[in-house]
Structure 1
Amino acid sequence: MSERLRPRDLALLAEESPSTPMHNATVEIFEPGPDGFDYGRLVRLVQDRIAFVPRYRQRIQPVPGRIANPVWVDDPNFDIGYHVRRSALPRPGTLDQLRELVSRIVSRPLDRNRPLWEIYVVEGLDGGRFALLTKSHHVLVDGVHTVDIGQVLLDKTPEVRPMEPDDWLAAGRPSPFALVADAVRDSVTTTDTVVDTVRAGTGAVLRGASASLRATGHVLDALANRTPHADSPIIGPLSQQRRVVTVRTELAAHRKVREAHGGSINDVVLATVTGALRAWLMSRGESMRRIRQVRALVPVSVLDDELEPTSLGSQITAHFVDLPVWESSPVVRLHQVSYSFVAHKETGRGIPASRLAGMSGFAPATFHALGARVAGAERRGGYQLCVTNVPGPQTPLYAAGARMVATYPVPPLYEQRPLAIGVTSYDGGVFYGINADRDLLPDADLLGPCLTEALDELLDSASGGRTRAPRGRRKKKTDQP
């Protein structure tokens, strides 16, 4: 019996449109090993490791008459060559050219008639480097049954871990009669099937009504006073095109600010984002007195028995932070962000960053995907910006013998929110990935230097020996590495 999609997964599929593709992406840059670049070796690596994520060889199959939710079934035509694609930049390829290529690829939705993922191998980067761009749909990576494929591709040493031979064969394609029979059987033996089907059907009606209301000005949101600051410069209708911006900074710089002012690495990251938004908005001629703050959703890892368990050992929930872009002092901005997390820390539910960074495989890929799901579930919650920050391992990782030297998350954009930021710390670096709507925010590339300058401001304040932040915590196990 195949597994059925849950109502929350159907909601994600229903919300998807050409302007809001529901996939999470990651860009990773590698230095080849002594033997050089070998595309065939990379394909074999993916083919071997996909055994850890069998959902990646399945597609969505609707049930005739919609008498039950769709099911996951093996794709009898699964073709690794379709999903692992080869591309190249004109040598020597620059990071700007890579970002432009990534922007175009992440703008395109995934094909629902196939397993919902793709990997692009991009050759030709300067210095003989290459990049991997992974795209995985939200319904694919739920953290319960399936993690992101990026979590299982990387090894701790250049030597590839030996794997047992994968003798996978696709199950036969279920007939319409078999799909209906299974749906009837599930309805009789599993009450959840009936409940989920009713929820999905009701949700479809509500989403249809919501679509009509969006066309007439989001009437329901306005009545509920939940429109996310419609006058904000980072709120507006999305186009079908994206612009991806990447920035590498040093973890040592974030640690220096933390040591000088207290708080956590996460606080420093958010204060850096706040300073960058302030400088970028001012470059656009925006009045800080009018805007004053940007409400951000920051997914956090917690231990909570009331939330759905995941295979990662923790749950992800939403934490809302008002980023004080009106404040001119970088230290005061850091203070403000630090205070916003006091209540969360005092609950005792938080997960130590060292534990997250030490999870098996490259867990940030999965955590970013789960954070995006949380942002999607809260999309009517009034936030303007989602910032996901995930600590990763501080030792190098390898794919098919090539060392990963950079990793940039590319979070998705949801309706009316043309900007999202993902952050991953790895091997001494802190990597900022920015996804922006190309038409609504044509100057989003300026956010790159603004991030660097905002961190420099904090570093200058740390060198000046200013007063520590109110929380005044030295490094503890709950801080990021």
Structure 2
Amino acid sequence: MSERLRTRDLAFLVAETPTSPCHNCTVEIFEPGDSGFDYDRLIELIRDRISFVPRYRQRLRTVPGHLANPVWVDDDKFDLHFHVRRSALPRPGTSEQLRELVARIVSRPLDRGRPLWEMYLVEGLAGGRLALLSKSHQALVDGVQTVDIGQLLLDHSAEPKQLEPDEWAPRRTPSPAGLVAGAVRETLTEPAVLLDSLQSTTSAVLRTADASTRRARAVAATLARRRPERPTPISGALSQQRRVITVDTSLADHRAVRKAHGGTVNDVILATITGALRAWLMTRTESLGGLRKIRAVVPVSVIDEELEATSLGSMIAPHYVDLPVGEPSPLVRLHQVSYSFTAHKEGGRAVAANRLAGIAGFAPTTFHAMGSRVAFEELRRGFQLSVTNVPGPQSPLYAAGARMVGSYPVPPLLPGHPLAIGVTSYDGSVFYGITADRDRLPDADLLGTCITEALTELTEASGGRQRAPRGRRKPSRTGKASRPTRPGTPAPADGDDSGSTTGSTSR
């Protein structure tokens, strides 16, 4: 029997527009060394492990008459080479060139007539490195039944695990009549399906009403010759194009600040982002424009029986924090951010980062996807920025013997939100990934530089020496991702205290 799409997953498909594609991306950087890692090895690796995520070989079929939600069906024309693509930069490819390529790829929506994911192996980077860009729709990765495929490709050893051959054959695609019969049968026999169908229909009606209301208001505003409200620097209508910025920093620097002032590395990361936003806004002609705080939603891992459990052992809940961009002191900003998490830390629900990273099958890519889902579901709460911060393992990971040396999240932009920030800690580094609207934030590159400078300001204010970030001092534009589930589950270094938002508080 085909599995029916849940209403909460259908919402991502309904809300998707050309200016707000609903997919999560991750860029990973690999050093092939003597592994021979190339496109053919990647195809072989994915073919061996895709059976662990069967939905990656399924597409959606709509039920005639919309009698029920769409269903997942096996793609009888599944072509792995269509989904896994090969690209290259002119050698030696620079981080700027990679950034531009990634930005163009993440700007394009996925093909809904096929399984909702793509992957690109980018060759030609300086030093013989390779970049792997993965792209999965938010309706595909729910963390409950399906995890991100990127986590399946990584091992804790340069020797990949040997798995049993995959003898997959697609099941027969249901006919339109079969889809209708299945919808009627499930509606009559399964109350949950009936409730989902009613919710979907109600949501569609409400969306139509909302659209009509918006059009009526627009007409009224025009007739009244009212001037539209001026958007803030980090709000407003989106274009179809994106910018992607990545920054490498040292986990040791974050830990040094935490050691000097208490709290968690997550607090230091958010204080760094606050300082960077302040500096970036002050370079713009409008300066802070009266903006004293930025309301951010920061998904956190919790243990809460009232929330939907994930396959990775914890739940994800929204946490709101006002980033004090109007505060000139970096240490005061740090303490204000840390204080905002006090109730969360003392409530007994928080999952410590070292515990989270030690969960069997833990994967930053999947948790970033889940954090983005939470931010999407909280849109009506009126926040201005989403930040997902996930702790990764502090030991090297490998794909087909090639060592991963960087992991950069590329979070999706929500409607009306031209900026989103993701953070992943991995193997002694903290990797910041920034997604920005190309037209609304043409100076987003400067925000990457401000991240580095804000961390320097914090370390110097804490009496520590500034360490040079691993790799390079300037924002890089490359990327990397996360960690495997069943095939290879690397163990994090003992005592990893590298804090997170989606991985909660203790780093």
The answer on 1:139 being equivalent to 2:139 is yes
CA deviations over 1:152-172 (Å, ceiling 9, x no partner) = 110001111001110000001
Change beyond 3 A, Cα 1:443–1:289: closer
Change beyond 3 A, Cα 1:464–1:97: closer
> What is the Cα deviation at residue 231 of structure 1?
4.0
- Are 1:154 and 1:362, in contact at CA under 8 Å, matched by a contact in 2? no
Name the SS of the counterpart of 2:381 in structure 1: coil
Normalised TM-score (structure 2)? 0.89
1:130-209 counterparts in 2 under 5 A? 130-209=130-209
> What is the Cα deviation at residue 111 of structure 1?
0.4
118-127 or 279-288, which moves further after superposition? 279-288
| Distance in 2 (alpha carbons) for counterparts of 1:395 and 1:218 | 54
2:366 match: 366
Change beyond 3 A, Cα 1:289–1:137: closer
Name the SS of the counterpart of 2:134 in structure 1: strand
The answer on 1:244 being equivalent to 2:230 is no
Q: Which runs of 5+ in 1 are unaligned?
A: 220-228, 466-474
1:469 match: none
1:418-433 counterparts in 2 under 5 A? 418-433=418-433
1:321-360 counterparts in 2 under 5 A? 321-360=321-360
| Distance in 2 (alpha carbons) for counterparts of 1:216 and 1:283 | 38
2:448 match: 448
Normalised TM-score (structure 1)? 0.93
Q: Identical aligned pairs, as a percentage? A: 66
Name the SS of the counterpart of 1:109 in structure 2: coil
> What is the Cα deviation at residue 215 of structure 1?
4.6
1:237-316 counterparts in 2 under 5 A? 237-288=237-288, 290-316=290-316
Name the SS of the counterpart of 1:420 in structure 2: strand
> What is the Cα deviation at residue 356 of structure 1?
1.6
> What is the Cα deviation at residue 287 of structure 1?
3.9
| Distance in 2 (alpha carbons) for counterparts of 1:273 and 1:440 | 19
CA deviations over 1:346-374 (Å, ceiling 9, x no partner) = 11000010122123345100000000000
Q: For this pair of structures, how many residues does the alignment match? A: 463
1:20-99 counterparts in 2 under 5 A? 20-99=20-99
Q: What residue identity is the alignment partner of 1:252? A: A
Name the SS of the counterpart of 2:383 in structure 1: coil
CA deviations over 1:405-424 (Å, ceiling 9, x no partner) = 00000000011100000000
Name the SS of the counterpart of 1:50 in structure 2: helix
| Distance in 2 (alpha carbons) for counterparts of 1:102 and 1:476 | 27
Change beyond 3 A, Cα 1:200–1:345: same
Change beyond 3 A, Cα 1:480–1:97: farther
246-255 or 356-365, which moves further after superposition? 356-365
Name the SS of the counterpart of 1:77 in structure 2: coil
Change beyond 3 A, Cα 1:351–1:108: same
428-437 or 26-35, which moves further after superposition? 26-35
Provide the alpha-carbon RMSD of the alignment. 1.7
> What is the Cα deviation at residue 232 of structure 1?
2.1
| Distance in 1 (alpha carbons) for counterparts of 2:242 and 2:377 | 22
Name the SS of the counterpart of 1:161 in structure 2: coil
CA deviations over 1:89-121 (Å, ceiling 9, x no partner) = 000001111111000000000000000000000
CA deviations over 1:423-477 (Å, ceiling 9, x no partner) = 0000000000000000000000101110000000000011179xxxxxxxxx799
